[in-house]
Amino acid sequence: MSRSEADSPAEGCSTSLFLKLATRILKRSFVASLCSTLLLSGCSTTRKSTVSDLQYLLEPDCRVDDNRNYDTRISWPNLDNTTAQAVQSTIEPRSLSRRVEDEVREIQLSECFHIALSHNDIIETSALGGVGAKVVLTNPQGANSVYDAAIQETGILFGRRGLNAALSDFDTTFATGITWGRSSGRNNLAATPLTLNTAETAAFRSSLTKAFASGGSIQFSHDWDYLGTNSPGAYYPSSYAGSIGAQIRQPLLAGSGTEFTRVAGPVNPSFGSIAGVSQGVVIARINQDITLADFETAVRNAMADIENAYWDLYLAYHSYDTAVVAHKSALETWRISNIAVEVGGNGKIGPVDELLAKDRVYETKASTETALNGIFRAESELRRLLGMPMNDGTVLRPVDEPSVAEFVPDWQGSLTKALTQRSELRRQKWQIKSLQLQLNAARSLVRPRLDAVASYDINGFGDKLLGQNTQDPVTGLPTRNGFGSMAHDDLESWTLGLQFSMPIGFRQAHSQVRNYELQLAKANAVLAAQERNIAHDVANAVQEISSTYTAAQSSLKRMKAAAERVEKYRIILEVGGSNREVDNSMDVVVRAQERLAAAEIAFYQQVSAYNKAITSLHVATGDLLEHNNIWLAEGAWNADAYCDAQAKSAARAYGIDNPKVDAHPPEFAVDHPVGTVELSPRVMPGNVISSPVPERPYEPVSPVEPAATTEPAPATEP
């Protein structure tokens, strides 16, 4: 054998060691350089690279300067929405420069209500600020809609959780998982120095967790751990160890009891400072009722706006009719004066009088055009509130006549109804009830956390998970698989005890209680202010009804007197006569016509205001929807829900009550107003004060005689 052949194994061994050493050095160098690059990349002291310093292998597919050198600009969302049908079907609006003979559509007030309720998903309200002042434009998130109740019911966020989200805290949670692993290491023992230990592991976990209404929770778990090892000290090279058991936890002090859980929900220490005590089922139900009260208020206000717009359109039509009649009367006066001037005059009507009559013609023409445009605007506003197209080829014209009968509201009854029926008060009372419940729940947390805990497990062990039982080769005893051991070997474990924790001082808990006390005090003060303002609303409506009715009566008498005056002047103007008022000028005739037109417009304005005042009274007393036969109700449920409700009702009917269990919590909601309205009027019915305004403490300089209650005698025309 040659020497080279004898040395070849040693050389191969040294070469192998050298390669391994070099590989390790390269790996470590690469890791070190990578870490240095990552750590020092943000701290470079060199200048920033420019485009000229960079080199690329491929050619650019676009120009290098095609970059965006700005960060923010006006952009539009990539949204292809469909234009509303009411906008698609509209045509050019009517105006003074575009007068067309459209079909007249006579519409009743009840029909307006029906159209608005069936066409509007978003509740429209009147806009007093002009263009762009609508709520749907200025605050779209705050616009009321038919979706609000459903949005609240399906809410999941803190503070606005719906009923289903609150009930989800009591849903059973199933969790499972399985993991595998392998580890290798050297054994640092003198008996077996530097032997390679290898362990293969697997872990299976599964559990069912359920929260109770009392604040406690229970968990059923089933776990298995697998271990495969080459350790010489292990009896089995592979084994399975598992358990099946239950763990229960029940709060005894803070967060305990059904009353707390119904309001605050199950205690969750991770989100206690965020969620507070407002995540329970009862608070979710109250939030739903608050949303319904807001929806009812929005519908009521919308119906009031529609009724007011209806009477505005009625007034616009009568104002236009009055303007047309005044224009015709002015034309007739101008015709008479023109004829008189052309024939030489009769000594009473001259060219100046003819020009005055002509001036009146153009004045009434301008008033007619303004009144016609008023019809266009009033009809457009009514269409907007009804959710109709701006112009569909028809002209809306009110067919219902306003009420002219005297309406004398009962003050005591109206105020009592307002204090019991107004949706704003119902909403605020719901808010107060919610704060009261949350305050009681917050006081429960000003106690230490003491939980009773218990667990019980049945354990199992075997060299196999499933399979037939085997015999121990050493002892000769039968050995079972994992599940068999769990069923027959009586391997048990249990725990029972208490867990206590408390923050020293309870600073956050006391602060939360104080915060709810302040919120409750503010809510009660707001309720008192609301009642005071509602009383003022009722009083203002009653006063407005009385004043507008009285003014309408006076305007009617004024209109009749002005009409008689115009008729007499017309006869004198046509036949002539020795009337001193028309001897020198036609000014008195024109003035009489102006006053007649003003009297007619004033009368219809007062009639319209009288009906608006009645509407305001119904709004103030909270019975506007009931007065117009409008009722709010929820839609139909899923068919399966009725079956489930019937099954639960039968279960309650045939169940046996436990006399030791308080199964009926205190009611927080009823179907009718609760409480009495306490009124202590200073003036009882039948007692009349001669003057509701107290006398001044000083003598007036010029005493004014009281107005006569009888109508003045008609003046004798000269």
- What integer pLDDT is reported at residue 689 of this predicted model? 40
Whose tokens are 């209650």? That residue is: 709
- Strand pairing report for 470-471 and 238-251: unpaired
- Of 18-22, 53-57, 242-246, give the lowest mean pLDDT range: 18-22
Residue labelled with tokens 């009550």? 657
For residues 309 and 191, state if they share a domain.
Answer: no
617 and 548, same structural domain? yes
Residues 479, 560 share a domain: no
In a domain, 681, yes or no: no
Residues 492/456, Cβ–Cβ less than 8 Å: yes
Specify if 80 maps to a domain: no
pLDDT tens for each residue of 125-164: 876 655 666 788 888 888 889 999 999 999 888 778 899 9
Residue 371 lies in a domain: yes
Residue 155: how many CB atoms within 10 A of its CB?
20
| Residue 641 confidence (pLDDT) | 85
Domain identity same for 243 and 307: no
Domain boundary among 595, 627, 659: 627
Q: Examine the fold and report which residue of 562, 596, 627 is the final residue of a domain before the chain moves on.
A: 627
Report whether pLDDT(430) > 90.
yes
C-alpha–C-alpha distance, residues 600 and 557, integer Å: 10
Q: What pLDDT is attached to residue 61?
A: 64
Domain boundary among 355, 375, 398: 398
- Average pLDDT, integer, range 210-237: 88
Its pTM surpasses 0.85: no
Can you tell me the mean pLDDT for 669-696? Answer: 55
**How many separate domains does the chain show?**
3
The percent of residues in the chain predicted with pLDDT above 70, rounded, is 76
| Claim to verify: residue 617 and residue 596 sit in the same structural domain | yes
Distance CA 211, CA 169 (A): 7
Asked if the model's pLDDT at residue 584 lies above 60, the reply is no
My answer on whether 533 and 416 are in the same domain is yes
Query: Which residue did the predictor score with more confidence, 426 or 66?
Result: 426
Rounded CA separation 203/240 (Å): 10
- Residue 339: count of CB within 10 angstroms of its CB: 11
What is the model's pLDDT at position 684? 45
Q: Is the distance from CB of 316 to CB of 605 less than 8 angstroms?
A: no
41 versus 228: the higher-pLDDT residue is 228
Averaged pLDDT, 2-7: 43
3-class SS of residue 218: strand
Q: What is residue 139's three-state secondary structure?
A: coil
Look over the chain and give the mean of its residue pLDDT values, rounded to a whole number.
81
- Work out the average pLDDT over 290-304: 94
Element (H, E) at 463: none
| pLDDT band for position 47 (cuts 50, 70, 90) | low
Is the pLDDT higher at 383 or at 656?
Answer: 383
Give the lowest-confidence range in 37-46, 51-60, 243-252: 37-46
DSSP 8-state secondary structure symbol assigned to residue 122 = B
For residue 463, give both structure tokens: 């060299």
Whether 158 is covered by a domain: the verdict is no
Residues 379 and 420 in one domain: no
82 in any annotated domain: no
Is residue 422 located within the same domain as residue 553? yes
pLDDT of residue 203: 94
Long-range contacts of 230-237 (CB under 8 A, 24+ apart): 230/196, 230/197, 230/198, 231/197, 231/199, 232/192, 236/463
Q: What is the CATH number of the domain that holds 562?
A: 1.20.1600.10
Residues 421 and 521 in one domain: yes
Tell me, yes or no, whether 684 lies in a domain. Answer: no
Q: What angle do CA 167, 170, 171 make, to 5 degrees?
A: 95
Q: Would you state the structure tokens that stand for residue 418, as one six-digit string? A: 């307002």
Out of 84-88, 382-386, 530-534, 710-714, which region has the weakest mean confidence (pLDDT)? 710-714
The first and second tokens of residue 212, run together, are 């109770």
Q: Are residues 419 and 532 in the same domain?
A: yes
Q: What is the per-residue pLDDT for 229?
A: 86
Q: Which among 78-92, 136-150, 448-462 has the top mean pLDDT?
A: 448-462
Question: Of 706 and 564, which is predicted with more confidence?
Answer: 564
Do 132 and 187 sit in the same domain of this protein? no
Given a cut of 70, whether residue 420 has pLDDT beyond it is: yes
**What is the DSSP track for 31-86?**
HHHHHHHHHHGGG--SPPP-GGG---SSPPSS-TT-S---S---------PPPPHH
The per-residue pLDDT for 281 is 92
**pLDDT of 43 strictly over 60:** no
> For 531, which DSSP code?
H
Task: Return the pLDDT at 12.
Answer: 44
Per-residue pLDDT for 524 more than 70?
Answer: yes
355 in a structural domain: yes
- Looking at the predicted structure, is the pLDDT value of residue 396 above 50? yes
Both 415 and 550 in one domain: the answer is yes
- Does the pLDDT at position 230 exceed 50? yes
* pLDDT top residue among 616 and 32: 616
Q: Count the Cβ atoms, other than its own, within 10 Å of residue 534.
A: 19
Q: Is residue 524 part of a domain?
A: yes
pLDDT of residue 27: 59
Q: What percent of the chain has pLDDT over 90?
A: 42
Q: How confident is the model at residue 185 (pLDDT cuts 50, 70, 90)?
A: confident
**Residues 609-630: pLDDT tens digits?**
999 999 999 999 999 999 999 9
pLDDT at 470: 65
DSSP assignment of 308-320 equals: HHHHHHHHHHHHH
Confidence band of 218 (pLDDT split at 50, 70, 90): very high
Q: Are strands 238-251 and 217-229 parallel, antiparallel or unpaired?
A: antiparallel
Give me 200's structure tokens: 């293969």
Distance CA 220, CA 213 (A): 18
Q: Helix count (H) and strand count (E) of the chain?
A: 17, 10
Task: Specify the DSSP element, H or E, that contains 115.
Answer: helix 109-119
243/27: higher pLDDT: 243
Higher pLDDT, 416 or 134: 416
What pLDDT sits at residue 32?
63
- pLDDT of residue 327 exceeding 70, the answer is yes
Question: Residue 657 carries which side chain, given as an amino acid letter?
Answer: D
- Strand 491-501 relative to strand 470-471, pairing: unpaired
Phi-psi domain of 476 (left: phi exceeds 0; alpha: psi -120 through 50; beta: other): left
Mean per-residue pLDDT, 356-382: 90
Give the model's pLDDT for residue 594.
84
Higher per-residue confidence, 602 vs 26: 602
Question: What is the predicted pLDDT for the residue at 522?
Answer: 97
**pLDDT exceeds cutoff 70 at 463:** yes
Closest C-alpha among 404, 396, 320 to residue 609: 404
Lowest pLDDT segment from 36-45, 243-252, 476-485: 36-45
Per the structure, the complete domain to which residue 215 belongs is given by 174-257+449-501
| pLDDT, average across residues 656-662 | 73
* 56 band by pLDDT with thresholds 50, 70 and 90: confident
